[in-house]
């Protein structure tokens, strides 16, 4: 400059640029609709003379973000994702009566934007505990996120796959009820679940480690201690960001969460089944009827504590109230020629058999009693009593008398007796056997005298 203006005095003034608050920018970017362009324009409006250009502004922010932890580098939109996993560390619970120690699992869920964390202890990682923990987590957050991001646990994901994971049907049922979606983390992709891994690590250090010297005698006592530590964790100030998990949750996630349904979700067990030839499907050793036209078809059973619902091609075809009966049958599900049988009762069969004779009634009662459920014996009783039409009532009674005498209670025995005409042979109270004399036949006296082979 002095060579260009040799006779003049050059005054230089260096403008000091105000350094952006990158921690605040990082938090603001989590709000829906907020972009770096918008934040830069607002910054230039506040400081038009000392602001950075947009390119330099973005570069400085990227440099700052790369220096942060992996879980902090990611930008998750408010109310968008809930990361879910189990902590690898368990907590012992002692049975006060037996002294037996049982390990409790630690369920952890953290929202992506605020890192607001929920944790609880359960006895297992099985599907019922997995679903119920989700329900309690939603109630803790007082809302539902747009996406659930579980690790590839069997209770949540049946077949992990990078491109098309197979989600458990019961887990899908939960997601549909709460109007949310499931996006499992990709296998062997830790960046997909950095928040979950960070939440698990924090839970292990802040909860499991702090409780290592305490003894718990029930799950409720353990969860009470976890709630106390969880409150401290969520109110603890961030080290590199403004506020705490709770304040970030109140400002970011909470306003964007979907509202909870009016009724609490009830766990639904989903099972694939095939309709049997008797128009019933089996669930937990009980049999529930479906329309007879679906015999041989594949259906899905949705079972709660109170109801068993059967769906075929996503359409409900049957709904039964669960009770102690083994066979639950809706008459309208049966073919027309079977409906008249629905009014049968064990007493009706016994009365019908008694009209033929006392031994026929005795065999009929045995056919009913020697079944897990009386209805399973109806067909055998019908076959027995219908023999009186083919033969006669008197012959059927005589056949049942002989069957009773030889200790048989089977329909096939009565049928064979009638077929061979043995019902017309007198029944001796003590069967006579012809005495056989032979040198190899020792007889009872041999054993009474302590005989032995020479």
What are the pLDDT digits (tens) for 125-160? 888 899 999 999 999 999 999 989 887 665 656 554
Is 309 found in the same domain as 166? no
Between 33 and 357, residue with greater pLDDT: 357
Is 111 found in the same domain as 63? no
Q: What is the mean pLDDT of the chain?
A: 78
Residue 161 pLDDT exceeds 70: no
Residue 282 pLDDT exceeds 60: yes
CATH of the domain at 135: 3.30.420.10
Per-residue HEC secondary structure of 385-420 comes to HCHHHHCCHHHHHHHHHHHHHCCCCCHHHHHHHHHC
**Total domain count, the chain:** 4
Share of the chain above pLDDT 70, in %: 69
Is 91 found in the same domain as 228? yes
Is 101 found in the same domain as 42? no
Q: Please check whether residue 229 lies inside any domain of the structure.
A: yes
Is 247 found in the same domain as 160? yes
Q: Which of 317, 341, 365 is the last residue of a domain?
A: 341
pTM flag (> 0.75):
no
**Residue 423: its pLDDT value, please?**
82
Q: Please check whether residue 367 lies inside any domain of the structure.
A: yes
The answer to which of 49-63, 64-78, 219-233, 290-304 has the lowest mean pLDDT is 64-78
**Residue 134: its pLDDT value, please?**
94
Residue 345 pLDDT exceeds 60: yes
Residue 371 pLDDT exceeds 70: no
Is 91 found in the same domain as 198? yes
pLDDT in tens, 405-438: 888 878 888 888 888 888 888 776 444 444 555 5
Q: Please check whether residue 124 lies inside any domain of the structure.
A: yes
Please give the Cα distance from 70 to 141 (Å, whole number). Answer: 24
Quick one: tokens of 38? 């918008």
Beta strand 307-312 with 157-159: parallel, antiparallel or unpaired?
unpaired
Is 140 found in the same domain as 33? no
Q: Please check whether residue 74 lies inside any domain of the structure.
A: no
Residue pair 276/282 in contact (Cβ under 8 Å)? The answer is yes
Q: Which residues constitute the domain of residue 414? A: 344-424
Count other C-beta atoms under 10 Å from residue 151's C-beta: 19
Is 205 found in the same domain as 107? yes
Band of residue 317 on the pLDDT scale cut at 50, 70, 90: very high
DSSP codes joined into one string, 321-378: E--S-SEE--GGGS-HHHHGGGG--HHHHHHHHHTT-HHHHHHHHHHHHTSSSGGGGH
- Average pLDDT, stretch 245-258? 90
């Amino acid at each position: 400059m002095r060579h260009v203006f040799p006779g003049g005095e050059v005054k230089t003034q260096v403008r000091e640029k105000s350094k952006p608050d990158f921690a605040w920018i990082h938090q603001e970017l989590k709000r829906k609709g907020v972009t770096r362009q918008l934040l830069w324009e607002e910054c230039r409006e506040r400081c038009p003379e000392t602001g950075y250009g947009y390119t330099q502004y973005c570069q400085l922010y990227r440099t700052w973000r790369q220096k942060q932890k992996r879980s902090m580098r990611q930008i998750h939109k408010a109310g968008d994702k809930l990361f879910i996993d189990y902590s690898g560390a368990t907590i012992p619970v002692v049975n006060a009566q037996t002294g037996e120690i049982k390990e409790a699992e630690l369920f952890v869920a953290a929202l992506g934007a605020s890192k607001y964390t929920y944790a609880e202890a359960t006895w297992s990682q099985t599907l019922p505990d997995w679903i119920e923990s989700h329900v309690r987590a939603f109630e803790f957050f007082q809302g539902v996120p747009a996406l659930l991001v579980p690790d590839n646990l069997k209770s949540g994901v049946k077949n992990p796959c990078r491109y098309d994971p197979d989600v458990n049907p019961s887990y899908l049922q939960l997601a549909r009820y709460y109007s949310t979606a499931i996006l499992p983390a990709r296998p062997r992709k830790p960046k997909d679940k950095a928040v979950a891994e960070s939440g698990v690590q924090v839970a292990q250090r802040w909860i499991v480690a702090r409780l290592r010297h305490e003894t718990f005698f029930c799950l409720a006592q353990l969860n009470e201690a976890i709630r106390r530590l969880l409150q401290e964790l969520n109110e603890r100030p961030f080290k590199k960001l403004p506020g705490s998990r709770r304040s970030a949750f109140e400002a970011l996630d909470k306003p964007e969460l979907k509202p909870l349904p009016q009724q609490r979700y009830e766990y639904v067990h989903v099972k694939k089944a095939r309709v049997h030839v008797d128009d019933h499907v089996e669930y937990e050793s009980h049999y529930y009827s479906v329309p007879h036209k679906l015999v041989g078809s594949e259906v899905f059973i949705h079972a709660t504590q109170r109801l068993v619902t059967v769906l075929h091609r996503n359409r409900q075809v049957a709904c039964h109230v669960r009770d102690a009966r083994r066979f639950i049958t809706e008459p309208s599900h049966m073919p027309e020629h079977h409906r008249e049988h629905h009014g049968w009762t064990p007493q009706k069969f016994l009365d019908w058999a008694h009209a033929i004779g006392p031994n026929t009634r005795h065999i009929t009662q045995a056919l009913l009693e020697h079944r897990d459920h009386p209805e399973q014996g109806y067909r055998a009783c019908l076959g027995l009593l219908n023999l009186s039409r083919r033969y006669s009532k008197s012959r059927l009674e005589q056949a049942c008398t002989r069957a009773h005498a030889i200790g048989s209670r089977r329909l096939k025995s009565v049928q064979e007796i009638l077929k061979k005409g043995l019902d017309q042979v007198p029944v001796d109270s003590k069967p006579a056997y012809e005495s056989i004399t032979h040198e190899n036949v020792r007889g009872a006296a041999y054993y009474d005298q302590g005989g032995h082979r020479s």
